[in-house]
Amino acid sequence: KQKATVVIYWHRTDLRLHDSPALQAALSLNPTTFIPLWTWDPHYVYKSRVGPNRWSHLLQSQTDLSKSYKALNPHQKLWVVREAPQTVLPKLWARWGVTHLVFEKDCDAYARARDEVVVRLAEEAGVEVIVRSGRTLFDVDEIVAKNGGKATMSMAQIEKAVEKIGKPDRPVDAPTAIPDPLEWDGMDLTGVEEEGDGVLEDGVDVNSVHRSGTDKQYAGIMGPGRDFGVPTLEEIGIDAGDVRTPHCGGESVALRLLARCIADEEYIGRFEKPNTSPAAFEPQSTTLLSPHLHFGTLSVRKFWWDVQDVMERRRKAKKSNASIPTNLPGQLLFREMYFAAHAAVGEPFCRTYGNPMVRFIDWHLQSKSPEEIAHGDAGDKLYEVDSDEAEVWFLRWKEGRTGFPWIDALMRQLKQEGWIHHLGRHSVACFLTRGGCYVSWERGAEVFEEMLIDHETACNIGNWMWLSCTAFFAQFYRCYSPITFGKKWDPEGNLIRRYCPELAKFDKKYIYEPWRAPIADQRKWGCRVTGDGSSSTNEDGNIYPKPMFDFDQRRTICLDAMKNAYHVGLHGDDKEVKDGSWRKA
């Protein structure tokens, strides 16, 4: 009698069927039983900051995948269980008689540590583990090796490293058939959740964070009466009213979005990131595929090759294409660069402490006081930042109540919809750190982690370091003005009118600086500019806050503080360039 091949395919970073090398490897085992599995990992459920929009995106992605499985085999679905993978997987492979565990490689620091434990336990249990790269264009460990074992910290380095590897593999086809799971009696896990105490041999209690969750979140998915289904928002304790993003999750959505972009060959060929508007909405000016790359509902290799094929057709037709790094392949290489940097540095990549790649900046020190600036003093001394004031600025930034409409509109768009354009991210990140509030990038990265639907540890951390000029890029002379930068893209202030509706009626002359509008006009346009942002109305009706500081003054303070942090002297001959940014003269 032929020996049974019972395969768990563990979905993590890959909620898709198309172009999945790991799924292909799993199916090529010709399983007698195949179980596509998702385990709720307490690390993500309780330790990561995940806002309602990203939760919703994830559940939509799971539901879509589950449907796709069912379409290929009515006995199938995405089998969802809730417990730390390190403890639940051994129970599952004992109960289900599993012979193979297959998954896509994940090089994030936490995932690597978790997977090492899982692989060791599998080996002890005699379960064969198969791992394939597929989350990135190339195996990022290979990129690191080609970069001399070092973190990739520039586009030149990533380009050189991938040139040594060659082209990414072409996408593999989606499966057309999926084997059966076990009969229901065999799948049933009643009682299994009681087994084991969640403590690994080495004393690590992987479920400890589990216990600190709310009862609702803890509610077992494996217990009697449960059907391994994708939970509803309600079941995981999220109020559906808090989900405000219009951007939907799921492989079928991702493939439709990609197809729509690819069909517009002119858009693909001419795409140059710096020429895409951060103020565009409905439609946005970039592809908005980042959440799908994050959840793996879109394969990055498919994205890459579909774009390359368009560019090749255009080349043959003698039509021009934009080039790296500003074109779409360039964007995907930035993603690759951050993934490889994270893979090389490991866990310290996510913070300043112990991170060899990041410049230490003491965000508590600045080199001029407002009084000195007011008196035109040079100010060679260092001052402690007023941390209470900085905390207030941080909270106002987070809530979109700084009194600078461009910044507030972007932060409110982020909070409501979970996505903002790359240059919008530049604006708000620069403003929070070296170009306004002088607050540590780590605080900002935490807010993005909570709010972004495309939150990707490597890309988020890497870009925050870039924007705060603490790693990757150090032109701190260039600073985004919250007034002139937005105006250049959107002179009518449409983005502001959309996300700060209290300012919707303001004349375009004042839309970026509403505090300059005469009081009679403010009244006429239905909103007074007053207060500190703690309230959105007063006895007269709508109010919008006054700017929380004098931006020009803050820019000077920050620039000097950065010079000091870089030890380049406090009296550089900088000049302001047209778009309101600063460059070294």
Structure tokens at 326: 């500003």
Considering the rule CB under 6 A, would residue 16 count as an interface residue with ligand FAD?
no
What is the arrangement of strands in the sheet containing 33-40, beginning at the earlier edge strand?
A: 79-82, 33-40, 6-10, 100-104, 128-132
Structure tokens at 85: 């993978």
Between CA 491 and CA 511 the distance in angstroms is 9
Considering the rule CB under 6 A, would residue 158 count as an interface residue with ligand FAD?
no
Distances (CA, A) of 52 to 239, 244, 255: 8, 8, 24
Considering the rule CB under 6 A, would residue 460 count as an interface residue with ligand FAD?
yes
Regarding beta strands 79-82 and 33-40, do their DSSP bridges make them parallel or antiparallel, or are they unpaired?
Answer: parallel
Considering the rule CB under 6 A, would residue 425 count as an interface residue with ligand FAD?
yes
- Each residue of 254-267: b (16+ CB within 10 Å) or e? bbebbeebbeebee
Measured from the CB of residue 433, what is the shortest distance to ligand FAD in angstroms? 9
Between CA 472 and CA 337 the distance in angstroms is 10
Measured from the CB of residue 410, what is the shortest distance to ligand FAD in angstroms? 11
Structure tokens at 509: 């002359």
Between CA 98 and CA 1 the distance in angstroms is 17
Considering the rule CB under 6 A, would residue 60 count as an interface residue with ligand FAD?
no
Residue 217 or 433: the one with the smaller Cβ distance to ligand FAD is 433
Residue 70 or 422: the one with the smaller Cβ distance to ligand FAD is 422
Measured from the CB of residue 430, what is the shortest distance to ligand FAD in angstroms? 9
Between CA 446 and CA 460 the distance in angstroms is 9
Report angle CA 343, 349, 355 to the nearest 5 degrees.
125
H or E, element range at 584: strand 582-584
Can you tell me which of 442, 456, 513, 560 binds ligand FAD, judged by CB under 6 A? 456
Measured from the CB of residue 264, what is the shortest distance to ligand FAD in angstroms? 13
Considering the rule CB under 6 A, would residue 99 count as an interface residue with ligand FAD?
no
- How many chain residues are in contact with ligand FAD, going by CB under 6 A? 28
Considering the rule CB under 6 A, would residue 471 count as an interface residue with ligand FAD?
no
Considering the rule CB under 6 A, would residue 422 count as an interface residue with ligand FAD?
yes
Considering the rule CB under 6 A, would residue 455 count as an interface residue with ligand FAD?
yes
Between CA 119 and CA 85 the distance in angstroms is 11
Measured from the CB of residue 272, what is the shortest distance to ligand FAD in angstroms? 10
Can you tell me which of 140, 467, 495, 559 binds ligand FAD, judged by CB under 6 A? 467
Query: Dihedral angle at the C-alpha atoms of 142, 143, 148, 154, nearest 10 degrees?
Result: -170
- Phi, psi for 286 (deg, rounded to 5): -110, 180
Q: Tell me, what amino acid is at 524? A: K
Q: Which stretch binds ligand FAD (CB under 6 A): 37-45, 48-56, 333-341, 555-563?
A: 333-341
Considering the rule CB under 6 A, would residue 464 count as an interface residue with ligand FAD?
yes
Helix (H, G, I), strand (E, B) or coil at 512: coil
Q: Which stretch binds ligand FAD (CB under 6 A): 19-27, 107-115, 422-430, 547-555?
A: 422-430
Instruction: Give burial (CB, 10 Å; 0-12/13-18/19+) of 28.
Output: exposed
Residue 457 or 556: the one with the smaller Cβ distance to ligand FAD is 457
Tell me, what DSSP letter sits at residue 374? H
Can you tell me which of 63, 433, 463, 470 binds ligand FAD, judged by CB under 6 A? 463
Considering the rule CB under 6 A, would residue 426 count as an interface residue with ligand FAD?
yes
Site for ligand FAD in 273-332 (CB under 6 A): 273, 286-290, 293-294, 331-332
Can you tell me which of 258, 341, 344, 429 binds ligand FAD, judged by CB under 6 A? 429
Considering the rule CB under 6 A, would residue 459 count as an interface residue with ligand FAD?
yes
Q: Which stretch binds ligand FAD (CB under 6 A): 23-31, 389-397, 447-455, 570-578?
A: 447-455
Residues at the contact surface with ligand FAD, assessed by CB under 6 A: 273, 286-290, 293-294, 331-332, 334-335, 338, 421-422, 425-426, 429, 448, 452, 454-456, 459-460, 463-464, 467
